[in-house]
Structure 1
Amino acid sequence: MSHTHPPSRGTAHRGRPTIHVAARLALLGQTVQAALHGRDLPALCLRLPDEGVPWARSLVRPDDLVLLLDDVDGPGDLRRARERVATCPARCIVLTSAPTGMVWVALMSSGAEAVLSAQISLDDLVETIEHVLAGDEVVDPQRRASMVQEWEDITSQFEEMAGRLSRLSPRELDVLERVSHGESAAEIADSLGVALTTVRSHIKAGRNKLGVSSQLAAAAILRRRPDIEGVAPVATGGKT
C-alpha cells in the first residue's frame, strides 16, 4: 500500500532533483510547499511513512531532497525521526521546533544534511535548500564530526543506564519513578498500601542496582529515562 499523496501535476521535473515536503500535518506541508513554489522551487507533498514502513523509493530518488518537518515532542518522536532520516533514500533537511541540543545532535548523527529551527526565515531556508541541491556542505565537516562523536558518547552513557534500569524489578521501578516525581517514602507507602520499611527496602535495592549511593542520584537517573529511551538503536542503510 502506498503511503504518499499523489504528486501534484506540473510540480516535478523528470531528470532533476525533486524537493519533497514531508510533514505529520498535511496543512503544514502544503503551506511550506506553497512558500517554496513562490521562490521557484517546485515541491511535492509527501506523507511521512508510518513507523516501520519504508519510504516509497519509487517516488523518492537518491538525488532528491526531503524536507522533513517534525516537532520531536518526546523520546518516541525522536526515535521515529532518527529512523526516517537514517532510512531516507534521499538527502534530508530537518525542520524542528525542538531546541538545539541532544535532538539536533541525534538527527545530524542519523545523516541529516542540516537541522534547522522551525522559526527559520524563508530566505534562509531557501538558501540552505539551494546549497544542499548544489552538493555543498552546509555544516562544517569538523562540526559534524564533533556532533557524531558527541552522540556516540551520549549513546554509550545511556546504553549503560538502560542496562542498569533493566535490572530493576517492576515494583522497584515504580517506587523510584514515584521518588523521581517528588513523592516521599511515607506517601508512597500510603499510596501502595504497604509498610514504610517495604518502600525503603525497594529504594535501597533500586539504588544498589543502579549503582548509586543516594536517593537523589537514583531519582536523577529515572528523570532521564525518556532521554534514555530516545537513543534506542534505529534502522539504517536507507541512503545509497
Structure 2
Amino acid sequence: MRVLVADDQDLFRGGFAMILNAHDDITVVGEAADGAEAVEKAVELDPDLVLMDIRMPRMDGVAATAEICRRTSAKVLVLTMYDIDDYVYDALRAGASGFLLKDVRRDDLVRAARLVAAGESLLAPAVTRRLIEDVVRRGAARPALRRRLGELTDRETDTLRQVARGLSNAEIAAELVVSEHTVKSHVSNLLAKLGLRDRAQAVVFAYESGLAVAGSG
C-alpha cells in the first residue's frame, strides 16, 4: 500500500509516517504540509491512500479531498482533532472514505489505513450521528435521490440499508444469509448504479434519500 501523509504539523506528519512505514505492506511515498501540496503530490505519486489533515493552510483538507478524489483514484482518510468538527460532513461529501481522531492509537491507525485502502468505509459513531442529525435538520429526503433507489434490486436495496448501519461485508452476509462474495457483488453493483465512489458516500446517499432514518440502526 502506497500512502501520502498530509498534515501542516511536522510532529503529526512525521509520527504518522513513522508508524505506517514500520509495516512491511505499507510505504509512505510522500508527505505534504498543506492541502495544495497534497493535491500536487497525489497526482504526481499516485498513492493508494492519502492520510489528510482536515485543517491546513493554503487549501484545507475538504477542498484538497475533493480535488484528489476528482483527479486520482486514491482513497482519502481524514484526520481531525475533534469528532464534532464542522468540516467532517463536508469532507465526507467531498469523497473522504473515513475519519480518525488525531489521538488515534497506532494499531488503530494501521488497521484504518488498510481498511480504507481496501475499499471499506470508516465512520466513527459520533460522525455517523452528526450525519444523521444534519439530514434530519434539513428536513425531508430529497425526491430525486429517492427516485434513484428504484434503480436498485431488492437485494441491493437491502445491502445499502445494512451498509448505512456501518456493517462490514461479513456482517451483512450474516444478516442477509448470503455469502460474503454475494455481498461484495451487491455493493459493487449499487455503487455503480448510483454513481457513488465508495461505501462512505453510500452511507450519505442512504440517509439523504430517506432509505436509512435516525434510530433505525
Structure 2-normalised TM-score? 0.49
Higher relative contact order (CA 8 A, sep 6+): 1
| Greater helix content | 2
Q: TM-score, normalised by structure 1?
A: 0.44
Q: Which has the larger radius of gyration?
A: 1
